[in-house]
Amino acid sequence: MGRQRRRHPALEGIDADALAEFRAGLRRRYTDEEILAELRASALRLGRSPTMREFAGDPAASVHPQTVIEHFGTWNAAKRAAGLQ
């Protein structure tokens, strides 16, 4: 007997598949190796080891710098684990 929920008018024009993909990525769990691969790929695109700010600004990187730190303790520890200087 619950009432039917009405979608907010701002959501009417949003692609349902794109929204589902976005929501799925919100709490994405990364393995250490996935994160290290992201760091290495960003370094290749940049031509050198990225700073945290550069990594955050890399549009091709899908991992947030805070996630990197949560996995490895510090930004530099993650870069060392990735073989970067």
List per-residue pLDDT tens for the chain, 85 residues long.
566 777 777 777 788 888 777 777 676 789 999 999 999 999 999 999 999 999 999 999 999 999 999 999 999 999 999 999 8
Q: Residue 45 contacts by C-beta under 8 Å, 6 or more apart in sequence?
A: 58, 60
Burial state string for 62-73 with b = 16 or more CB within 10 A and e = fewer than 16: ebebebbeebbe
- The pTM score is 0.69
Inter-residue contact 42 to 50 (CB < 8 Å):
yes
